[in-house]
Amino acid sequence: MLVSDKVHSGPASGLGNEDPMHAPLLTILAAISGAVPAATPGAIDSVTVRDAEFAHVKAIGPDELEAFTRMWASRRRMDRVQAGGGTHYKLDIRTNGHFRRYLYYTSGLLTLLAKDVQPVYQVEDPVAFNQLIGAAG
């Protein structure tokens, strides 16, 4: 049966829930309005820290993930950047099923490792961030 051939019987709710083609739209609208809980876009699922030689340093545990997410969200984009400074680490961050690797310096600077030029960011409190990720300052 084509959607245009569908005959609605009984009172329509006006939400389109009688048509399965409207389900994705309804989910989005409900999430925006706060009617149903939805995954936060960009929510961090896991973090693995690796040293300069790619050796595993630490996996951020579930009890630390909230603190990491808060510190990560407070990073700020830098307009001008001097040399990174400090020891560097790789942060493997999984967000909504996608992995990204960041280069992080214990001075607090970080950038996404990619083929093209990426912006550089500064974490708000490098000492606290280093302690959280298990990095030696």
Q: What is the pLDDT of residues 16-30, one digit of tens each?
A: 444 444 444 434 433
- The domains of the chain, with CATH numbers, are 44-133 (3.30.1490.410)
Tell me: pLDDT of 111 over 60. yes
- Mean pLDDT along residues 88-98: 95
Global confidence as pTM: 0.67
Q: How far apart are CA 93 and CA 101, in angstroms?
A: 6
Do 121 and 72 contact (CB within 8 A), yes or no? no
Instruction: Compute the C-alpha angle 122/112/90, nearest 5°.
Output: 85
User: What per-residue confidence (pLDDT) applies to 86?
Assistant: 83
The answer for residues whose C-beta is within 8 angstroms of residue 72's C-beta and 6 or more apart is 44, 93, 123
User: What per-residue confidence (pLDDT) applies to 81?
Assistant: 74
Do 28 and 67 contact (CB within 8 A), yes or no? no
User: What per-residue confidence (pLDDT) applies to 77?
Assistant: 96
Query: What confidence category does residue 74 fall into, taking pLDDT thresholds of 50, 70 and 90?
Result: very high
Identify which of 87, 81, 116, 124 has the alpha carbon closest to the alpha carbon of residue 103. 87
